[in-house]
Every structure is written in structure tokens, then in C-alpha cells.
Chains A and B, each alone.
Chain A
Amino acid sequence: MNVPRFWRRIPNRYNLIGTKCENCNTCYFPPRSVCPPCRRKGVIREYQFEGSGKVITHTTIYSAPEGFSKMTPYVLAIVELDEGPRLTAQIVCDPSEVKIGMRVKSVFRKLGEDGPDGVIYYGTKFIPA
């Protein structure tokens, strides 16, 4: 991913800032600028998530894409935040440790890098709570 494409989502990626529709009180992460149920009636504001949630499902990646191959095996999960939305994230733990229903909390971590001279990507991962 090139620099501006990653950079424009830094607040969301670093600090778990998503959006909330104040018309129906639904929270969104990843952020959405259109609330699907309310559409044009929706009132979208930035929303800071607490960072607590639970694992809905998980896998351990052994065959990784470019940029992630040094990290294998790593745990990937769908996490449901306490405020409602679900997101895809890595869980920083041993593959044998992760379980469906496990409580997790967000942490700021290095995600990867674009080769030896490229950008270092940071973002949100989760650890067992």
C-alpha cells in the first residue's frame, strides 16, 4: 500500500477511531461515511472505540502474503468490539492460546514494512485481556 493510502487512515488504524451514526446509534469500524440503514438520514460522527472485545473466530496463517512472511505463524481473528462492530485483526499470542469467545484488548503494534527502504506500517492488534 502506498504512503498516502495508508497515511489518510492513520487515526483509524493507530487509535481505533471509527464512526457512529447519531440517528440510529450504530457504531462502525472500519469507519463508514454512509450508515446503511439510515442512508441520507444518517448523521455520521467520529467515534473513539474502547478497544475491548472478544474473538468470534480465528485462524493461524502459515502461508503469508508478501510483507508478512517473516511473522508466520501468526494468529488472525474476527474480533467483536464491545460497542458492536466486528473487524479483522491479528491477535498477539501463541496459536494454541486463541479460543472462540476469548476476551481481548487493543494494542498499538507494528503491522509490517514495505521492504528494507519502504514505509513501516503500524496499527491495531489485540492481546488476550
Chain B
Amino acid sequence: MRDVAIVGIGCTKFGEMWDKSFRDLFIEAGLMALEDAGMSGADVEALYGGNMSSGVFIEQEHVGALIADYSGLISNSVPSTRVEAACASGGLALRSGIIAVASEYHDIVISAGIEKMTDVGPEKAMDALAAASDREWEAALGATFPGLYAMMARAHMDEFGTTREQLAQVAVKNHYHGSMNPKAQFRNTITIDAVISSPLVADPLRLFDCSPITDGAAAVILVPAERAREFTDTPIYVKAAAQASDTISLHDRRSLTSIDATRIAADRAFKTARLQRSNIDVAEVHDCFTIAEIMAIEDLAFFEKGRGGPATLAGETAIGGKIPINTSGGLKACGHPVGATGIKQAVEIVEQLRGTAGKRQVEGAEVGLTHNVGGTGGTVVVHILAR
């Protein structure tokens, strides 16, 4: 195995992009990443594309070939592979690309993520997302995604005394971060009052506890570390790419207040990277719902179990705090085009480590982490990146 570096990044604006198609989005992100690496499409040897549900969202499967075709990569006949693990599809596409380069199978690889969610109505989009749970024994009985996370929130509040205000502060903080990100879907700041007076979706979760439906794409270019300086003066090195699986259904989990796959993937990642939690300067975590960020920062062991809520309310996870979490605005404010999220997280960490994150820059950031969850925790991918 050899070391891998990220030498190019690209990300579209996230939001309801009525004028942009699935094709427009991935072409924009891919070209941006190639441009950033000063590379030609002819250099690319393989492509991994994270996408959860193009079959439902745009009635199109076989998008590996579609992406290669419309990106102009067919002339090289590059192997192009779609990767799916619900909302962790992007994280898996990144890890697949890293493994391809690390194993010396390919030298130059694009890992991308894309989701075009607004070509269907909200009910159909909700149903597509419900497919990340157990269709027969959760969704068919009336469970929704907010409902499943609401049951985790209820259990977390019961076990650790996590409060409604602490949950709300996750959304408030991520909107504040998103307000400084030109690519974010929501650039408005909100208050705790606005969150706790927004409509109930699945008690105790309200509308502003939930990440939105979003269109967007992101891409990164991976090369062997020893070749990184051919393409950039600021390569960002992959220190670990770890993944873990757990039961598809929430009811079969060991714990309802902790995502075990996060704990295990994080332990694997820190072991591979030979780093400590205290080495992480900035992290992008999977805040599909406010409770998910609180559980993530606890399960990643940035905070003790049960301390996630109080730490958030105390500002420890905001830019300027002990460990800035979701400087992009997270899934909550930057938006959550499900298949693109895992790649967008890496793009944000690369910006932070390069020192090009603008107003939301974490001063002197040297090591960053991404955490991408599929479903309610059936798949988790954790990456550690460093300058």
C-alpha cells in the first residue's frame, strides 16, 4: 500500500437548482476539480461516483457510464463505477478511489458524489430516502427518517438529559457557519427560538432540526502521494480511510444513543493514522438531524458520551471553539444532496487544510476528519486528512 494525496477539489453550489440537470452538476464539479489540479481529463484512469438513488430521483440508473460519457472520458474507456450506501455513498466513493490508488491499481482517480433530488416532489423524495431504512420492517410500518432519528433523540434525552435547546443550537451553529459559505443552500442565521417553534416533524424533532432536500455535486482528484507535487503546491494527504457496517434497522442496534459503526470506523481510522482525537483541528460530521451531530461528536470521542449537547450549547463546536464542527454549514445549512455529501465534506476539509476557507477558516488547521453516515448508522465512513 502506498500513500495517497488529494490534489484537486470541485464543488457546485448546493441548493434547489431548478435550471441544472444531473449531468450539468457532475460536469461542473468534475471540471472544477480537474482545473484545480491543473490536469486534463485524459490523465484520469478511473472514476468512482457516489450516488444514492438516481433511479428514483431522475429515473436513470447506470450513471457510472453516463458520468464518464458526458464528462468526455469515454475516449479513454475509463472504468467508471457507481457506489451506493445511501447517504454515505459519497464517503464510500472517496474510500473506493483511495483504495484504488493506494493499491497501485490506478495512479489518477476522480472520486465524485452527486444527487439531483428536486426533479421529484417532496413525497417521492421522502420515499426514496426511506429506502435507506429497512423497507419491510421500518418504513412499511410508518417509520420515516426523521422518525427514526427522533427515536434516537428521545432515548438520548432520556439517558443523558440532552435538552431541546442543545439540539437547536446544532442548527443555529451550522446556519452561522453556512452564512459564511458561498456554496451553502441556506446562508441565513437562525435563533434557538426559531428552531423550537418550527413545525413538529417527528417529536421531538422539528423542521429546523432536519437537513433539507438538495441538488449538488462534488469531486476530488486522488494521486499517489509521491506524485502530488506535480499537480499542486498544497497537497492534502489521506491519513486514513475507514469504514464499518451495522444492522440496517435501528431496532436491532446494541444502543439507540450511540452509532456503533461510527465508534468502530473512528477507532480504525485513528489507529491507521497513528493520531489522537486531540490532533484533529476541524471536522465535518454527518448532521442529517441535529441529534445526529450530538451523537457523532460523542461517538467520534471528541466529547464524552452525554457531553455533546452541553458542549454544543457552550460554543465548543463553533469556529473559534475547542473543535470546530461542520464549518461548511454541515448537512443542515450547506445542504444534503445525499450522494454528494461525503465528497463535499472532504472538499471542505481540504479547503480548511489549504487555508483557503475564507471567512470560515480555522486558523492553523493541519489535520481534519470527515464522518459520513448511511441510513441510521448501517454504514459509516471516516476519513482523516492532513497537510
Contacts and interface: CB of A to CB of B under 8 A. Distances in A.
A87 B144 contact: no
A97 B144 CA distance: 21
B144 A95 contact: no
B306 interface: no
Given A61-B202, A62-B200, A65-B123, A76 B146 contact: no
Contacts, number: 96
Nearest to A80: B251
B201 A71 contact: no
Interface residues of B, number: 35
Interface residues on A, range: 20 to 34
A78 B256 contact: yes
Contact of B142 (A5, A74, A87): A74
B59 interface: no
Interface in A22-61: 30, 56-61
Contacts of A87: 137, 251
A57 B151 contact: yes
B251 A58 contact: no
Interface stretch (B152-160, B345-353, B379-387): B152-160
B319 interface: no
Interface string A1-14: 10001100100000
A95 B147 CA distance: 14
Nearest to A68: B142
B127 A76 contact: no
Contact of B143 (A62, A71, A88): A88
Contacts of B152: 57
A89 interface: yes
6 contacts: A30-B134, A30-B136, A59-B147, A60-B203, A63-B202, A68-B142
Q: Which 8 A-B pairs have the closest CB atoms?
A: A59-B150, A57-B155, A86-B251, A60-B203, A30-B137, A57-B151, A62-B200, A63-B201
